[in-house]
Structure 1
Amino acid sequence: MSTPAHYDLRPTEGAMFVGVLFAVLLHGIFCVQVYGYYMNFPDDPRWTRFFVALLWILDLAHLVIVAYSIYYHLILNWGDTSALYHELPIINCQLLFIGLSTLLSQTFFLFRIWIFSKRNLCITIPVLLSILATFTLILLGFGIVSQGRPPSNFPVAAGIISIFIAGAVTDFMIAGLLCYYVRKKSEGTRRMRLTRTLVNQVIRYTVATTALTSLLVLGCLAAYLAAPQTSIFAAFHFSSGRTYSIAVLVNLNARRKFREAIGSIEASFVKSAEFAGISRIVPELRLDRDALEQSSRTTTQAGTTTVPNECPPIGLQ
């Protein structure tokens, strides 16, 4: 059978095919990040290493599902137009894997906020509720599509829009709070170039990784509002959970880039810098005031001392 001329595959199966290609690309990036993590941080806690493995399994399972769906429609049933109107039941499971990846990744960043805020429930509970609301909406969508057609009184458009808005709001909350607490942690040593550079690097990583997930979610929302009858928004959504997992691994692997700077960082900042895992790689510096002053001065052959321009840590003055 040949496909009727009036049936345009580009906004439906074509869009999903492009979405799968991008999902494969992001999965490759994620695999590189996972490999780098296990190679560079063999001494991380066992639960962290298991957490990374779980994210990778969820990502792989989701990719297999969406890839098989495209293979089923475009390869196994090539030329059979009736198959295009039947959705594979397994394709609905991809919502569950996206929801789990999103939940685990956002919870990882919530744990950082929990540490930074010194277990402040007034800060963490609103973020937790937003995370749970996003996951609940995804589960609700999964349960409805798994039953076939949704009830006639169910607002499908409102449900889809709610998922995207809740996800974007949660991402912005997490990014804003992380940047705020990282900046707040460095207030005592902001005058020093080394700590200022390190803090700026951490903030850039935080903003860049969370911005990627936020932009993709907003892209899903824009695509749905512009063309709700197509599968373009679903193509974007294929990669949403994957970007969350990549954000987690990028933040974990960023600790390696901070090692050189942290190796010579001021003792007062080392004591307070937590970064939800970064403090694990900070050397145990035990510098008293006399040792710090001695290391910050160089003695000339004439017996005079030269004090560098950079001020000692404020907390040790």
Structure 2
Amino acid sequence: MTIATPAEVLMRGPQLGTMLSMILYGITCIQTFMYFQNYPDDRRRVKATVSISAVSITGLYRLTDACQVIVVWILETAHAGAAISFMDYYLIVNFSNTEVLLSVYWAMPVAFMIGFLLAFVVNTFYAWRIWLFSKNVYHAAVLVMLAFVRLGLSLTVCVYSVIYSQSWSNFRHHSGKTIIALFVLAVVDDTLTATVLAYYLHTRRSGLKRTDRLINRLLLYSVGIGALSAAGDVVETIAYFALPNSLDFLGIVLVQMKLYANSFLICLNIRNFQAGPLNDPLSYNSTIVTSSVPKFTPDGSIECGAKDVSSGNNPLSTLIEQ
């Protein structure tokens, strides 16, 4: 029976995770390009996904949609660069150096710190949109609170990895309880966010066929990606306990982190599949527009023939256009 080398035991999971995360990073780049290509004239609403004052729901988020996308793409790029850096250090620069494999290289906690920050950005983005969508401050406040607690636990784990960087076993010994709490909270946060978003999407159907089709798409993507993220959290927890001498759970985390940016960009880009750009009544799925076909207007309402549906009755105006 062949005995696995330290490189196989420790780095196979992170290596596979890095490779898969690069594929998802490519999808992120494509979605970023699609956003700027298809929505060059979107309204510059001052609502950003990142703000230090995010605890106070009323004066939040002062960047444009374009800035949101740029911030997410920059974080994604930095995350990809850090992941490539630590894999290069372990598997190329220090090839067959077992001592190095057993220690924590600085680029690894940096990669995870960026990924955790990205998850925080996207989760607070959804919390803000849910508040705009429902005006229920309690639901939004709970989601924001969970996002902050999750970020705090995440950064604590990263700090532990720096303090106890001498060996992976030392790091796991001192940060084990924090990691478990982080995984459990991540399952709760991702599941709750997807559930609340799906609930408000479902209850705000307008009765317009075209709008409802778009809501169905949003439901599919929000529930699907939320369930996938929550499943990733569960698998990470199982891998952490089942493989105590391996870093396979970190490979799963690397892949999962890329799902957040893609879910965020899907939320912004999905208009193009059904409603088209805000100032263009045509979409990829429609070739002719008549008075009976609803159209998204620049002021956030939906035109349907001679009738206007106000933004208060248009769930999409707050969820994907503001």
Larger helix proportion, structure 1 or 2? 1
**Partners in 2 of 1:160 and 1:34 — Cα distance?**
32
Superposed displacement of residue 31, structure 1: 0.6
Q: 1:40 aligns with which of 38, 41, 45?
A: 38
Q: Which residue of 2 aligns with 1:129?
A: 145
Q: Verify: 1:202 aligned to 2:202, yes or no.
A: no
Q: 1:90 to 1:82 in 2, by over 3 A?
A: same
What are the residue-to-residue correspondences of 1:167-316 with 2, within 5 Å? 167-186=186-205, 189-190=206-207, 193-259=209-275, 260=283, 262-263=294-295, 266=304, 267=307, 269=309, 271=311, 272-275=313-316, 276-279=318-321
Q: Which residue of 2 aligns with 1:290?
A: none
Superposed displacement of residue 29, structure 1: 0.8
Superposed displacement of residue 237, structure 1: 0.8
TM-score normalised over the length of structure 1: 0.78
Q: Which residue of 1 aligns with 2:75?
A: 58
For residue 242 of structure 2, what is the amino acid of its counterpart? Answer: A
Q: 1:172 to 1:76 in 2, by over 3 A?
A: same
Q: 1:147 aligns with which of 133, 154, 163?
A: 163
Q: Would you say the 8 A contact 1:270–1:279 is kept in 2?
A: no
Q: For the pair shown, which has the larger CA radius of gyration, 1 or 2?
A: 1
Q: Which residue of 2 aligns with 1:162?
A: 181
Q: Which residue of 2 aligns with 1:303?
A: none
1:97-137 CA-partner distances (Å, limit 9, x unpaired): 0121011100111111111122x222211111111111010
Superposed displacement of residue 32, structure 1: 0.6
**Partners in 2 of 1:153 and 1:49 — Cα distance?**
40
Superposed displacement of residue 85, structure 1: 2.3
Q: 1:229 to 1:43 in 2, by over 3 A?
A: same
For residue 86 of structure 2, what is the amino acid of its counterpart? Answer: S
Q: Verify: 1:75 aligned to 2:75, yes or no.
A: no
Q: 1:85 to 1:198 in 2, by over 3 A?
A: closer
Q: Verify: 1:22 aligned to 2:63, yes or no.
A: no
Answer with 216-225 or 5-14: which moved more: 5-14
1:31-77 CA-partner distances (Å, limit 9, x unpaired): 11111011011123262111111111111111111211111121112
Superposed displacement of residue 80, structure 1: 2.5
SS of 1:55's equivalent in the other structure is helix
Q: Verify: 1:92 aligned to 2:109, yes or no.
A: yes
Q: Would you say the 8 A contact 2:161–2:171 is kept in 1?
A: no
Q: Would you say the 8 A contact 2:28–2:261 is kept in 1?
A: yes
SS of 2:104's equivalent in the other structure is coil
1:255-274 CA-partner distances (Å, limit 9, x unpaired): 11121474387446554113
Q: 1:181 to 1:155 in 2, by over 3 A?
A: same
Q: 1:223 to 1:185 in 2, by over 3 A?
A: same
1:134-190 CA-partner distances (Å, limit 9, x unpaired): 10100111111111259999752221111111112111111111111112212xx44
**Partners in 1 of 2:5 and 2:92 — Cα distance?**
17
**Partners in 1 of 2:97 and 2:210 — Cα distance?**
64
1:203-227 CA-partner distances (Å, limit 9, x unpaired): 1122123223222222212211221
TM-score normalised over the length of structure 2: 0.77
Q: Which residue of 1 aligns with 2:299?
A: none
For residue 240 of structure 1, what is the amino acid of its counterpart? Answer: Q
Identity of counterpart residues, as a percentage? Answer: 23
SS of 1:142's equivalent in the other structure is helix
Q: Would you say the 8 A contact 2:109–2:162 is kept in 1?
A: yes
